[in-house]
Every structure is written in C-alpha cells, then in structure tokens.
Amino acid sequence: MSKNNSEYLIERNDNVYEVVIGLEVHAQVTSDSKLFSSSSTKFGAEPNTQVSLVDAAFPGMLPVINEFCVKQAIKTGIGLKAKINNKSVFDRKNYFYADLPQGYQISQYKYPIVGEGNVILDMPEGQKQVGIERLHLEQDAGKSIHDVDPSNTLVDLNRSGVALMEIVSKPDLRSPDEVNAYIKKLRSIMRYLGTCDGNMQEGSLRADVNVSVRIKGSTNLGTRCEIKNVNSIKFMQMAIIYEANRQVDLIEEGVEIDQETRLFDTKKNETRSMRSKEDAHDYRYFPDPDLLPLEITDEFIDLLKSEIPELPDDKKKRFIDEFKVSPYEATILVSDIDTAKYFEEVVAKMGKNRDMKLAVNWITGELFAVLNNKNIEIAQSPISAKNLAKLINLIKNGTISGKIAKTIFELMLDGDIDPQIIVEEKGLKQESDPKALEALIDKIINDNREKAIEYKQGKEKLFGFFVGQAMKASGGKANPQLINEILKKKL
C-alpha cells in the first residue's frame, strides 16, 4: 500500500489488485414527523411512545406523504448536483419481520425521486468525482431487541416509518480513504442543507457497502459482496479491508466468489456470510396502491433551488478567492458547516485590519486542539468567534505577543472571557516603548559584557541569549520585534 496518496492496492504473488466500492447510504431525513404519519421522530424517547396507528399498521390505516420530507429529498438531490425526477413512484417492498408492521416497506424502486448526480472529493493527490446513481425515499423499520428478555424478542416501533434517503453511489470508490472522504463529504453537504444531521451514533447515517476486487487495470467488475448496515466510517474501512483481502485470497486460490450479503462483526473484525444470492429475498415490489405517484413541477424544483444555501464546494472556492486562504486550509474550514460559520464570524469581527493567516492558524491549531481534548463540536466552542477575533486583533496590532496570546487563550476558556479584560487585569500588555526597552537592553548588555564581546567576535548564536534575557526581564511582555531591532543596533 502506497503511503503518499489514498490508493489502496493488494499485492499477492505477481498480481496487483484494486478494490471497487459502491455505497448505499441510508440517511435519516431531518424532519419532526415521519414519512407517512405525524408521529414524532425525536431520538431517545421511551420505546413505543412515538407510534401512530399508521406506523403500527392497524387495519384500514393509510399512508399520507409528508411534504416536508419530499422537499428535503429534493434539496439533497440539488446538493448532489443530481437530476430531480418530475415523477416518482412509491413501491411496496414485501417481506415479513417482527419490526416491519405492514409486512412491507414503502420505498421507491423503479422510479426514484432523484436520479444521477455527483460528489467531489478532495484527496491528497487532487480532486476526485464520485458518481451518484440515485436517491430515493423510504420508510425505516422498527427495532427488534433480542437481549432484554431471555425468551422473547421485544419490538420498538419508534423508528418505524421514519423517513430515510437511500443514496446509492456508482462503483467509483477505490480505497478506504476515499470511502472516508465520500461519507464525510456527503454528511457535510447534507448538514449544510439541513436535510440530515449525519449523526452516526444515533443511526442517522448508515451504509451498505458493496465490495469487489479486480486486477488493477482491468475494466471488468468482479463479483461483489454487499456488507449490510455498517454504522461508522471506521467500521466501513475495516470491513472493506477485510473483505477485499478475503476476496483476493479466494481468487488467488482459484475459488470463485459468491455474490452474497455479508455482515461485519466489529468484535472479530471480519465479515461473515448472511445469505447467498440463491437465498435472496423476493421482495415482490409493486407500486403502492395507497399512494399516488409523486409529481413535482419544475417551478417547485426552482423554488427549492432558490432556498439552497452556499454548499461546501462553492464556499471553498469563495474562501480561496476572497480570503486568500490555501486550498488545503479552505478544505478544512468548509468541511463542517459550523466550522465555516465560526471562521466567517471571526473574519467579520476582525474588521478591516484582519489577518487571515492568524485566524486560520488559531482556529485549526489552538481551538481545534481544545475541541478535540474536550471532545466537543465547534458549535459548543468555549470561546466565541467574537472573542477569538479580539484576541487575534490584539496580536495583530502589537498589544500582545503570540506567546502571551497563548496564555490569554487558556484563561479565556474559563467562561469565554473577553481577552481585552484579561490583558488589562493581568497587565499583560506588550512593552513597545523603544526608550523603555533600550534602557532594559542597556542594562542586560552591561550585566553580560563578556558575552557581548564574544558575540561581536562572531559567536552569533549568542543573539538568542540576549533576546531571552530581554524577554525574561520584561516578564514576557516586551515586543519581540523591537527587542530584535534594538539588540542588533546596540550589539
């Protein structure tokens, strides 16, 4: 495996294999109520407290489409630069399971609401475009709980009927790193749009991973295996690595790969066969006669387009153009909508004499470190954008040194304190009066005559010693630039 880029190759004997990956991402639509009923979708409620007669499939109950969920799906389609279909159809996917009250899932089979689109990934070696095959709306099932009662399975229907978007990629992904970038980008786009919160812990984003391998350079697709319902990027990557190697081993042994559905065992780090192609369900899809086809006019699509906020790719371009940040920095800043918002607020509050370099460094350096340590999101940042901007301005206008700024930053964490107040209360203002500094430096040179002579004789590294002494004598407040200038003159 090459280290300098995101390529993932498997070498066995004289053969080099590449892995071909396609993802079916199930993203929970951000919506207060379910796809076909008015029940709440709030996470974490007591079991079976958010279940309507429709969700529990009582006799004679009928689904009624939630228009908001349709809008969310269209917006997501627009975010994926995809074709929005003027007509789509809800189908029934028939199968029996205890947590599927209707005995069928309402989904979209032949005619999805969103057609082909694409997503741009920023990889170390450059940009990569990943094709989107389709996006369709469907209902989530309930939850079977097997480990509470020793002899019974319990069913929680709170999730039954919650709206999901299934986003199917083309088999364009080639490595675990690309999968990581793809999921993050998808999540980022949907969070910008407010159509899915992307919360993987709460199950808002899960994926079925299709994996096949082939000799690098070949254009034929190998037989694929589908790994069902993986709920974290890390597990997706682990599952892909295991599965790709398993398939390569089989091919090298001359064994044919069975097209099958597999499960990833996170404890053992391996995939296991769930069912073979022969045992595949016959879902007997047919158009749901309880629902009319969804007809969406171009005017409606245009209206929703006008509501689309600036998306990560555009924002990145603007940050580069307007704020002169590097593409690398821009990628980091736009990856999460809250980071982008925070950055833009800092920029706004810095005012006319803004310093982008300082702003980027402070956010991606000091602030990110704190967020990482505390394991919190930037939306919960202990330091507001306004106060961080003030701190940066204090550095920029010479009131404090960068070193003092770090001390002040630590103090600010305790309740988002205004850095100006800290500077005043602690007397941390930088000493920038040349006369005072000259007097201070004169004294240091006097106290260290021998070293001064050595310096003049060519021992240039002693310059640092004098700077250090000056800073120490000033209690760290001396303006380092001025110290440098005066020392050069005096020595």
Partner 1 sequence: MTEITSLSLFELIKNIKEKKISSNEAAKSFVDRSEKSKKLNVYVTENFENCLKLSKEFDNNPNFDLKLPGIPIAVKDLFCTNEVRTTAGSNILNNFVPSYESTVTKNIWKEGGILLGKLNCDEFAMGSSNETSFFGNVQNPIAKDLVPGGSSGGSSAALAANLTPVTIGTDTGGSIRQPASFTGTVGLKPTYGSCSRYGIVAFASSLDQAGPMSKDVKDSSILLEVISSFDKKDSTSIDFKRNNYSSELTRNIKGLKIGIPKEYRVDGMPDEIEKLWEKGIEYAKDCGAEIIDISLPHTSYALPTYYIVAPAEASSNLARYDGVKYGLRSSGKSLIDMYEKTRSEGFGEEVKRRIMIGTYVLSSGYYDAYYLKAQKVRQLIKQDFDQAYNKVDAILTPSTPSSAFKIGEKSNDPVSMYLNDIFTVPVNLAGLPGISIPAGVDKNNYPLGLQIIGKPFDEQTVLNIAYSMEEKINYKNNITDWWMK
Q: Specify whether the CB–CB gap between 388 and 463 falls below 8 A.
A: no
Residue 62 lies near partner 1 (rule: CB under 8 A): yes
- Residues with Cβ within 8 Å of residue 232, at least 6 apart in sequence: 200
Q: Which of 44, 126, 289, 427 binds partner 1 (CB under 8 A)?
A: 289
- Nearer CB in complex with partner 1: 25/100: 100
CB of 32 to partner 1, least distance (A): 18
Dihedral pair phi/psi, residue 117, rounded to 5° = -155, -165
Burial code (b: 16+ CB inside 10 Å, e: under 16) for 107-134 equals: bbbebbbbbebebebbeeeeebebbbbb
Residue 161 lies near partner 1 (rule: CB under 8 A): no
Identify which range of 203-211, 256-264, 277-285, 305-313 contacts partner 1 by CB under 8 A.
277-285
Residue 439 lies near partner 1 (rule: CB under 8 A): no
Neighbours of 262 (CB within 10 A): 22
CB of 284 to partner 1, least distance (A): 4
CB of 287 to partner 1, least distance (A): 8
- Residues with Cβ within 8 Å of residue 48, at least 6 apart in sequence: 155, 156, 157, 158
Q: Specify whether the CB–CB gap between 491 and 463 falls below 8 A.
A: yes
- Nearer CB in complex with partner 1: 53/348: 53
Residue 64 lies near partner 1 (rule: CB under 8 A): yes
Q: Specify whether the CB–CB gap between 116 and 85 falls below 8 A.
A: no
d(CA 4, CA 18): 17
d(CA 270, CA 252): 19
Residue 276 lies near partner 1 (rule: CB under 8 A): no
Decide the pairing of beta strands 225-230 and 260-265: parallel
Q: Which of 2, 13, 44, 60 binds partner 1 (CB under 8 A)?
A: 60
Which positions from 92 to 121 touch partner 1 by CB under 8 A, shown as an x/- string?
A: x-x-xxx--xxxx-----------------
CB of 59 to partner 1, least distance (A): 5
Please, which residues bridge with residue 45 across strands?
none
- Classified as helix, coil or strand, 36 is coil
Residue 63 lies near partner 1 (rule: CB under 8 A): yes
Q: Specify whether the CB–CB gap between 192 and 311 falls below 8 A.
A: yes
Which positions from 129 to 158 touch partner 1 by CB under 8 A, shown as an x/- string?
A: ------------------------x-x---
Question: How big is the site for partner 1, counted in residues (CB under 8 A)?
Answer: 30
Residue 259 lies near partner 1 (rule: CB under 8 A): no
Q: Which of 1, 53, 303, 439 binds partner 1 (CB under 8 A)?
A: 53
CB of 67 to partner 1, least distance (A): 12
CB of 150 to partner 1, least distance (A): 15
Positions that interact with partner 1 (CB under 8 A): 53, 56-65, 92, 94, 96-98, 101-104, 153, 155, 282, 284-286, 289-292
